[in-house]
Amino acid sequence: MKARSHHHEEQHLTERLGTTGLRLTPQRQQVYDVLVSKRDHPTAEEVFIRAKKAMPEISHATVYNCLDALVKSGLARQVQLERGATRFCPNMHEHGHFHCSDCGMIYDVDLPHELPCVAVPRGFRADGFDVTIHGLCAECAKQK
Amino acid sequence: MKARSHHHEEQHLTERLGTTGLRLTPQRQQVYDVLVSKRDHPTAEEVFIRAKKAMPEISHATVYNCLDALVKSGLARQVQLERGATRFCPNMHEHGHFHCSDCGMIYDVDLPHELPCVAVPRGFRADGFDVTIHGLCAECAKQK
DNA sequence: TTGCACTTTAGAATTATTCTAAATCTTGAC
DNA sequence: GTCAAGATTTAGAATAATTCTAAAGTGCAA
């Protein structure tokens, strides 16, 4: 069962990376595994630290390369929330992010199924969007 | 007329800054003027360069301080779009940002008046949101 | 008019990201 | 199979973005 789902994942990665002319490498697999196994929107640096545990020779630049590869082929999203490091998210379903301005934690939130159409200027071509909500998470809201 | 609106602006800045216990200083005024006079969502570095023209002794750290002060008191918004420098926007009306993934230009876009309610987890307190649309601007779309 | 809190300044320090050049791996043509 | 071409990884240097620090300046209130 485990092996089977693992095989499926591998196939999925190979397929998606293929659409951008990229290969599935052990490093890309590893970086993807890091993202999937703890969905706390880690920074590249955090991904590096976690990936290093399983693959001690992996380098900094490779982690950035891998993250870029995953983003380019639609396997992960970059999440830009505040000044400082960019974060990454392997959840490719349509969703928004809630950012607690106190503790900094990030939560995925569902977006309404029917989203209103945003009018973009004539000639512009939109192909995606990000929604971020700012506020306090339950923990931090309680403490105020 | 010019003087009058200038006076109004000053009053407005003093007032808004006051709500956060901050003062209106020549530097903060200058940084705000930079944001307002060319609404191209400049980075802190760009603000620094522009502010320096009118106020050659202004320092890097001060620009960051001033931008933070403006953001804290609701006179400007930080816009986080991609890896790299944070950008700033003095348009405090409800709006979204269109980011051209080709030329990198950023445009303000109107959001529909009636926005759907996003369900946040129990106990969470939301107090703002950002919407960013990715795609190609008219110029770049034409070239493809 | 003195003191205190707030600000600014220059420059150092830190953090985040990208670049570089050499080594390694993969793949397809032969 | 073997080799060249291209893709990928690596360590570490370089660059970019941001924050910190300590000293000096400013202005208001007692």
pLDDT tens across B30-69, in order?
Answer: 999 999 999 999 999 999 999 999 999 999 999 999 999 9
Q: What is the pLDDT of residue A41?
A: 97
Q: What is the pLDDT of residue B31?
A: 98
The CATH number given to whatever domain includes residue A133 is 3.30.1490
Which of A143, A139, A81 lies closest to A106 in space, CA to CA? A81
Same domain for B62 and B125: no
Same domain for A38 and A56: yes
Confidence of residue B75 (pLDDT cuts 50, 70, 90): very high
Per DSSP, what are the bridge partners of residue A136? B125
CB contacts, 8 Å: A110 with chain B: 118-119
Which of B136, B130, B13 lies closest to B73 in space, CA to CA? B13
Confidence of residue B106 (pLDDT cuts 50, 70, 90): very high
Same domain for A100 and A73: no
Confidence of residue B24 (pLDDT cuts 50, 70, 90): very high
The CATH number given to whatever domain includes residue B72 is 1.10.10.10
Same domain for A32 and A69: yes
Residue where a domain terminates, one of A50, A74, A89: A89
Same domain for B47 and B81: yes
Best to test chain A binding among B120, B127, B131, B142 (most A CBs inside 10 Å): B120
Q: What is the pLDDT of residue A2?
A: 41
Q: What is the pLDDT of residue A16?
A: 93
Same domain for A83 and A14: yes
Low-confidence ranges of chain A (pLDDT < 50): 1-4
Residue B2 pLDDT greater than 70, yes or no:
no
What percentage of chain B reaches a pLDDT higher than 70?
A: 95
Same domain for A21 and A83: yes
Residue A110, domain extent: 95-142
Number of domains in chain A: 2
A75 touches A13 (CB < 8 A): yes
Q: Is the CB of B4 under 7 A from strand C?
A: no
Confidence of residue B1 (pLDDT cuts 50, 70, 90): very low
Mean pLDDT score across all residues of chain B: 92
* HSE-up (13 A, CA, CB side) for residue A13: 24
| DSSP state string for A9-52 | HHHHHHHHHHTTT----HHHHHHHHHHHHS-S--BHHHHHHHHH
- Among chain B residues, the shortest Cα distance to A113 is held by B116
CB atoms within 10 A of CB A139: 13
How far is B45 from B29, CA to CA, in rounded Å?
17
CB contacts, 8 Å: B143 with chain A: none
Which of A34, A37, A81 lies closest to B132 in space, CA to CA? A81
CA of B101 to C1' of C5 (A): 45
Q: What is the pLDDT of residue A52?
A: 96
What percentage of chain A reaches a pLDDT higher than 90?
A: 82
Residue B70 pLDDT greater than 60, yes or no:
yes
Confidence of residue B5 (pLDDT cuts 50, 70, 90): low
| Chain B: closest CA distance from residue A122 (Å) | 7
Give me the mean pLDDT over the B102-114 stretch: 92
